[in-house]
Amino acid sequence: MIVAEAWKANYLFWVLPAVLILGLLALIGILGLFFAIRLYAKLTCGRYREKTRMDGKTVIVTGCTSGIGKETAKELANRGARVIMACRSMEKAEKVQDEIIEETKNQNVLVKKLDLSSFASIRTFAEDINKTEKKLDVLIHNAGYAETFKKNISEDGIELTMATNHYGPFLLTHLLINLLKKSSPSRIVVVASSLYRLGTCNLDNPNPINTMPGYLYYVSKEANILFTKELARRLEGTGVTANCLHPGLIDTGIWRNVPVPLSWGLGLINKLFFKTPVQGCQTTVMLAVDEKLTKVNGEYFSDCEKSSVSSKASDMARARKLWEISEKMVKLEDDDPRI
Ligand SMILES: NC(=O)c1ccc[n+]([C@@H]2O[C@H](COP(=O)([O-])OP(=O)(O)OC[C@H]3O[C@@H](n4cnc5c(N)ncnc54)[C@H](OP(=O)(O)O)[C@@H]3O)[C@@H](O)[C@H]2O)c1
Ligand SMILES: *[C@@H]1O[C@H](CO)[C@@H](O)[C@H](O)[C@H]1NC(C)=O
Ligand SMILES: *[C@@H]1O[C@H](CO)[C@@H](O)[C@H](O)[C@H]1NC(C)=O
């Protein structure tokens, strides 16, 4: 009896507080670790700090209703550029347009409809730009689509990931190349991803409708790099440059199609380790504005620094073959410009 009483007293006075204190310390430890990781990520993430202005320059940013595209558009508007937001959803885009104009006080921000999975939409958009814009200084291929398991094809019968991420930008570049050349020195910036390492373009199967789209996302990002390399080679001496980049891993909408329960784990990792969209747009902005890069062509950047790509993604024979395949896939017409 006395022993039990004594234990209870002991429990109340020592064990419980000790457990509470240990628990509190553990919580502080976990929070500390969390902030340490965030701080490390912040300190090691490339930042573009030059204040270079873009007054008088016209820039097209594709897919800027969310994520890094939105931050890229905002940052360029802030530097005084005329920003053409090329988006598939006018409703979402107009909201973002209002937000950018309000924040940057730059009225020169336009929205134009562009669905990169549709050749017809790309042609309508390019015709409109060709008619209404006297010059084009920077074309930023930012839009991207990722699906995990759900297969789908575009209205042109092309696997949707490849259509949106590779063939669409390929066609759009052709239709705008004369305007870019006329405006030289001018630039093309392609938002690729280091995840290209997980996928390899199957050049014998340019329309992989039976392949898992999750894997094709990686493939499409390899295609972005091969496309940039071959484009840069073809543009040598024209005053138009083409470079690509890995923006980092970023907490954006690109992960929206990852299904439950994978998405729960991913969501946590996203918040813990991934960059914010503002951090994620830095390398794109640098490639679009930095004066030191006027002549840099055919390179791959990451965290605001030049970086190297694997030998398979810089294999110029593969790059050329993908180019020739793509010319057929997008059905270039006789009077379309060739690059
Ligand atoms: N997030 C990352 O960790 C990461 C890493 C490496 C590379 N990237 C690349 O970064 C780029 C931007 O992606 P994000 O991460 O910012 O993702 P996001 O928030 O999902 O933004 C993607 C943008 O692309 C647009 N888009 C999708 N399909 C389109 C189509 N058919 N036509 C026109 N626009 C279309 C989306 O428009 P809607 O709003 O209409 O859907 C959205 O504005 C992508 O190229 C992606 O591959 C991202
Ligand atoms: C398939 O893609 C088209 C766009 O090409 C889209 O309109 C449609 O909703 C998609 N279908 C499914 C089932 O996701
Ligand atoms: C752009 O417009 C010019 C005339 O202003 C025309 O010669 C050219 O073919 C057009 N290019 C495209 C891709 O529409």
Contact 136, 181 (CB under 8 A): no
Q: Is residue 338 domain-resident?
A: no
**Number of domains the chain is built from:** 2
Spacing, Cα 175 to ligand 3 middle (Å) = 9
Residue numbers of the domain that contains 269: 52-329
Q: Is residue 336 domain-resident?
A: no
User: In this structure, are 132 and 38 located in the same domain?
Assistant: no
Give residue 159's pLDDT. Answer: 98
User: In this structure, are 141 and 14 located in the same domain?
Assistant: no
**In this structure, which amino acid lies at residue 202?**
N
Does residue 112 have its Cβ closer than 6 Å to ligand 1?
no
User: In this structure, are 24 and 102 located in the same domain?
Assistant: no
Contacts of 66 (CB under 8 A, 6+ apart): 92, 96, 252, 253
User: In this structure, are 320 and 297 located in the same domain?
Assistant: yes
Tell me which residue of 131, 77, 30, 27 sits closest to 285, measured CA to CA: 77
Indicate if 217 belongs to the active site.
yes
The residue nearest atom 46 of ligand 1, judged by CA position, is 144
Give residue 156's pLDDT. Answer: 98
Q: Is residue 339 domain-resident?
A: no
User: In this structure, are 69 and 29 located in the same domain?
Assistant: no
Q: Is residue 221 domain-resident?
A: yes
Contact 184, 294 (CB under 8 A): no
Residue 200 DSSP SS3: coil
Give residue 1's pLDDT. Answer: 55
User: In this structure, are 201 and 75 located in the same domain?
Assistant: yes
Does residue 254 have its Cβ closer than 6 Å to ligand 1?
yes
Chunked mean pLDDT (size 10), the chain, 339 residues:
68 80 92 82 81 98 98 98 98 98 98 98 98 98 96 98 98 98 98 98 98 97 98 98 96 89 86 89 98 98 96 98 98 96
Q: Is the N-terminal amide bond of 261 cis, ω within 30° of 0?
A: yes
Spacing, Cα 68 to ligand 1 middle (Å) = 8
Give residue 264's pLDDT. Answer: 87
User: In this structure, are 101 and 142 located in the same domain?
Assistant: yes
d(CA 286, CA 323): 27
Question: Radius of gyration (Cα) for the chain, nearest Å?
Answer: 24
pTM equals 0.91
d(CA 218, CA 200): 8
Tokens 């820039």, residue located: 59
User: In this structure, are 134 and 251 located in the same domain?
Assistant: yes
DSSP 8-state symbol, 14: I
Q: Is residue 334 domain-resident?
A: no
Q: Is residue 34 domain-resident?
A: yes
d(CA 325, CA 180): 23
- Which residue(s) pair with 190 in the sheet? 141, 244
Report the CATH number that the domain containing residue 87 is assigned in CATH: 3.40.50.720
Give residue 3's pLDDT. Answer: 66
Residue 84 DSSP SS3: strand
Which residue out of 145, 167, 196, 217 is catalytically annotated? Answer: 217
Residues with CB under 6 A from ligand 3: 126-127, 130, 175, 178
Does residue 152 have its Cβ closer than 6 Å to ligand 2?
yes
Contact 78, 105 (CB under 8 A): no
Q: Is residue 337 domain-resident?
A: no
Q: Is residue 303 domain-resident?
A: yes
User: In this structure, are 273 and 322 located in the same domain?
Assistant: yes
User: In this structure, are 168 and 36 located in the same domain?
Assistant: no
User: In this structure, are 174 and 68 located in the same domain?
Assistant: yes
User: In this structure, are 83 and 150 located in the same domain?
Assistant: yes
